[in-house]
Structure 1
Amino acid sequence: MSGPLTGRKVAFLMSNSGVEQPELTEPRDAVTEAGATVTLLAPEKSTIQAFTNDVEKADTFPADEAVKNADPSAFDLLVLPGGTTNPDQLRLDTDAVDFVRRFVAAGKPVAAICHGPWTLVEAGVLQGKTLTSWPSLRTDIKNAGGEWRDEEVFACPARGWTLITSRNPDDLPAFGKQIVETLSS
């Protein structure tokens, strides 16, 4: 499909055992409908289990590549979906945290929704950034040097890379739209 993101490559990073399905599928659909190619990264190149509300099993998705083998230079944008299980597991995976650090060091945009910023906190990349998230992350974000806001979507271009964040699944339409706008410009 062609569109404003034709030729762009977007990586989605999630754990193998617990991503919130709408926070994966809705942004994925937004970027693919705009013409981007999506790669699903996970700690293991195996099945990714999605959930609804962190408890009810939903669909499974095949991971395209193990994150330890992924090269940030191959992608134009990184998406960190939420749910509580997904980022909680990712922040304990040294390969995932290292990938996020290298992605940010390359100055590439990152998008995170709901609890997704937990991985950014662990990567130590939020100093001087303004973002939103699920409200319970507010203190973690402040302790990591970021400024927290309660907004539907917020794009922060400060400190050499753009960070796009949203609070929860209700914000997914605005989140997807902001990702496409950022990557199109």
Structure 2
Amino acid sequence: MAVENAKVLIIVNNWGIEETELTRPLRDLKAAGAQVTLAATTLDPCETVQHDRYEGETLTPDALLSDVQATDYDLLVVPGGTCNVDRIRVNKDAIALAQEFAHEGKPIAAICHGAWLLVNAELIAGKTASPCRYIAADIENAGGHYVDKQLTIDDENGWRLITSRKPDDLDYFVDAIKDALA
């Protein structure tokens, strides 16, 4: 597969998404030729934030979380934003999607708080991850191993996990997603 033939799913709550953690993967992957779908909890506009407190860009979702399936995509991206992931990690559709991607052996890329979803989906045990430091204890308590690095790629348990800590790591994060799709 090549990036230009890939189908990528990005899942979010409709507000509280860290702006660049959504817009960089979305736009960079589209620019590389991937078909990218933004799925949200509702079809209302997705309101992003900068650093969890300043108003960011608003984007229109392409689909509902409840209407998308892992079988239709090659890779899942979970952007951060504390409020975004705090809501999406308890969303039954988001949890089921993450589990489907992992069970089908498809890559999941999560940045910053995004890995919180994987904790609730019970997918982090045995994995090494580099989310933001604020959820390090959650990763460890769920049986994962936290490391403070710009990028961690873990292929344990039959699926690839790509994690990065924060917006400053986006170059590494997006390049790792492209490599996983190449």
Equivalent residues of 1:4, 1:34 under 8 A apart:
no
> What do you get for the CA RMSD once the two structures are aligned?
1.2
1:121-140 aligned at under 5 Å gives the runs 121-140=119-138
Q: How far apart, in 2, do the equivalents of 1:176 and 1:159 lie?
A: 23
Residue 144, structure 1, aligned to residue 142, structure 2 = yes
Instruction: Give 1:46's aligned residue.
Output: 44
Deviations 1:8-31 (A, max 9, x none): 100001100111110011112221
CA distance in 2, matches of 1:4, 1:29: 17
Q: d(CA) in 2 for partners of 1:32 and 1:4?
A: 13
Percent of aligned pairs sharing the same letter: 38
Instruction: From 31, 34, 50, give the equivalent of 1:33.
Output: 31
Distance (Å, rounded) in 1 between the aligned partners of 2:96 and 2:71 = 14
Q: Which runs of 4+ in 1 moved over 4 A?
A: none
Unaligned runs of 5+ in 1: none
Pairwise CA distance, 1:59: 1.3
**Alignment of 1:61 onto 2:52:** no
1:118 partner amino acid? W
Give the Cα separation in 2 of the matches to 1:172 and 1:110. Answer: 15
**Runs of 5+ in structure 2 lacking a partner?**
none
Pick aligned residue for 2:75 from 71, 74, 77: 77
Separation of aligned partners in 2, 1:174 and 1:61: 24
Aligned residues: 182
1:41 counterpart letter in structure 2: A
Secondary structure in structure 1 of the residue aligned to 2:4: coil
SS in structure 2 at match of 1:107: coil
92-101 vs 124-133, which moves further? 92-101
85, 100, 103: which one aligns with 1:102: 100
